[in-house]
Amino acid sequence: MSHTTIQDSLSKKKDHVLDLIGTDQVQKIFGNSDTEAIAFTFSILDLIKKKSALYGTNMNTNSQFYTYSREIDSCKTWCADISLDLNSGFSNTELIEFYWDLIIITELQFILPYYLQNKKYYYKSVNNSIIKKIGKTLTSVINEKKINNSISENYSWRFSGLNYSLIYIPLYFKDFIWGKSDSIYFHVILPRSSDSRESLTEADKVLIKHSKEWLLALLELASDLNLMYMRLYIRRSDIGNISALLKNLNWIGGKLIHNEDRDKLSKNDIDMNEMLFGDEEFLILEFEC
């Protein structure tokens, strides 16, 4: 039996997401020169096959595309784009599979690098752990009960999101930006910008030069999603790419957030699979929305 690494599974899932999201409609959006970014968000309630479970509640399950562009004589804004609709092209089962892929990819951004390539830790157990966590959150949301969690609220990236997002800002990021949110925080994980750390690539330079533009795009999205704070997760290997942002962090109201104290975490009674995850790979910045 050959063991798949988590990295392999992650790549496959990303390809799958790309296949689904890269519809002709979406391609056309970027043919429109005014559109600078696109985002897709959905609620974990969308994972429920029988929507009848939600009757009588005011819970919104509709997945939604947003595009970021400048209207004539206006500032750049995110607008819900109803012309984009995955429901028409795919079956409910395909969509649910797609949602799960997005969730798992987002959650796996926090897996520690050691476990990413290591075959000993099978993808399956991590996968099951994420599914279990989402299931627990879903149950609590439907029953309108607060989840009892032993993890500090300060490290809410460990909680499953209520909504998940995929953001694409092709001018500045060649890869997708993964995001999830609870009712307060929008956790945004920036993609690894480059494998080569010896010198800045042209793409890196663009990213540095336009940090205000992409940061504003993300802040506006977080604000439109009615969230209070946005937390940006930047891989420590990419710190050079946000140097301008860091140097001006105080001026733009951002602050550094503590990394998690893993020693304290291990003392708590948590799922052992949780120990495969961590935030130490990231520099975390927080902004008000």
Instruction: Give 51 or 262: the residue with its C-beta nearer to another protein.
Output: 262
Q: How far is the CB of 21 from another protein (least distance, A)?
A: 26
Instruction: Give 96 or 249: the residue with its C-beta nearer to another protein.
Output: 249
3-state SS track over the chain = CCCCCHHHHHHHHHHHHHHHHCCHHHHHHHHCCCEEEEEEEEEHHHHCCCHHHHCCCCCCCCCEEEEEEECCCCCEEEEECCCCCHHHCCCHHHHHHHHHHHHHHHHHCCECHHHHHCCCCCHHHHHHHHHHHHHHHHHHHHCCCCCCCCCCHHHHHHCCCCEEEEEECCCCCCCCEEEEECCCEEEEECCCCCCCCCCCCHHHHHHHHCHHHHHHHHHHHHHHCCCCEEEEEEEHHHHHHHHHHHHCCCCCCCEECCCCCHHHHHHCCCCHHHHHECCCCEEEEEEEC
Instruction: Give 261 or 271: the residue with its C-beta nearer to another protein.
Output: 261
Q: How far is the CB of 254 from another protein (least distance, A)?
A: 8
Q: How far is the CB of 219 from another protein (least distance, A)?
A: 4
CA-to-CA separations, 181 to 58, 178, 207, 222, 258, in angstroms, rounded: 18, 11, 24, 9, 19
Instruction: Give 59 or 249: the residue with its C-beta nearer to another protein.
Output: 249
Q: How far is the CB of 151 from another protein (least distance, A)?
A: 15
Distance CA 163, CA 126 (A): 20
Instruction: Give 111 or 218: the residue with its C-beta nearer to another protein.
Output: 218
Which of 180, 223, 143, 166 minimizes the C-alpha distance to 44? 180
Instruction: Give 107 or 220: the residue with its C-beta nearer to another protein.
Output: 220
Instruction: Give 76 or 192: the residue with its C-beta nearer to another protein.
Output: 76
Q: How far is the CB of 70 from another protein (least distance, A)?
A: 7
**Site for another protein, rule CB under 8 A:** 70, 73-77, 211-212, 215-216, 219-220, 223, 244, 246-253, 255-259, 261-264, 280, 288-289
Q: How far is the CB of 10 from another protein (least distance, A)?
A: 27
Q: How far is the CB of 216 from another protein (least distance, A)?
A: 6
Q: How far is the CB of 36 from another protein (least distance, A)?
A: 11
Sign of CA dihedral 56, 95, 109, 67: negative
Instruction: Give 6 or 219: the residue with its C-beta nearer to another protein.
Output: 219
